[in-house]
Amino acid sequence: MAGTGPRRIDPARAGVLLRQGGVLVYPTEAVWGIGCDPGHPGAVQRLLDIKQRPVAKGMIVVCDTLARVADWVDLDALPAPRREAVLASWPGPNTWTLPATADAPRMLCGDHDTLAVRVSAHPVVRALCAAFGGALVSTSANRAGEPPAFEEAALDPRLLADVDALVEGRTGGLAAPTPIRDARSGEILRS
């Protein structure tokens, strides 16, 4: 599906593209993200190739409701206070590594026994998930080792040439990508 550059689309049209295995760029809480259908191995591999990111690192999955990933995570494996802290932080700009079930796509978990999940409050992310009918892979729209794009104008033209579409919208204005915390311990893995 790669072409000469991305077309600009709205979330409703992006849902169709995601169901076809497309890879797209879209605004998130702080930076522009690149995403695809997390259940489509070909799309996930294409995204990893575009980013030049090793599968071992794993990736974040974003959703508009936790029900979208209920089969992939085991919240009951968390002590009640930890589970309550996770749930109280959503929807919002908080990413947690949750115990993964056997059904979680291994390409998303990487070398971990967890899956990084964020139930987002960002209107474009929520609209994308609703239009697609599922969760999305969400990682920053930059090649591995390069800085993330906080503004659309900062997106790398080489990366844009490899994706199928750019979803119109604006980032949420956060000064840094969302923190990632270990749900088991509360430890900050990325601040």
What's residue 4's pLDDT? Answer: 52
Q: What CATH number is attached to the domain comprising 65? A: 3.90.870.10
Residues 55-74 have a mean pLDDT of 97
Residues 91-111 have a mean pLDDT of 97
Tell me whether residue 138 is in a domain.
yes
Higher per-residue confidence, 1 vs 83: 83
Average model confidence (pLDDT) across the chain? 95
Tell me whether residue 2 is in a domain.
no
Q: What is the distance between the alpha carbons of residues 66 and 143, in angstroms, rounded to a whole number?
A: 28
Residues 47-63 pLDDT 10s: 999 999 999 999 999 99
User: Does the model's pTM come out above 0.85?
Assistant: yes
Domain of 130, in residue numbers:
7-190
The answer, yes or no, to whether residue 157 has pLDDT greater than 90, is: yes
Tell me whether residue 68 is in a domain.
yes
Residues 71-81 have a mean pLDDT of 97
Residues 123-147 pLDDT 10s: 999 999 999 999 999 999 999 899 9
Residues 36, 142, 140: CA angle, nearest 5 degrees: 55
What's residue 2's pLDDT? Answer: 46
Residues 23-42 pLDDT 10s: 999 999 999 999 999 999 99
* Cα–Cα distances in angstroms (integers) from residue 104 to residues 28, 119, 125, in the given order: 23, 16, 21
Give the confidence band of 6 by pLDDT, cuts at 50, 70, 90. Answer: confident
**Cβ–Cβ < 8 Å for 114, 122:** no
Count of domains forming the chain:
1
Tell me whether residue 163 is in a domain.
yes
Tell me whether residue 1 is in a domain.
no
Tell me whether residue 17 is in a domain.
yes
The answer, yes or no, to whether residue 5 has pLDDT greater than 80, is: no
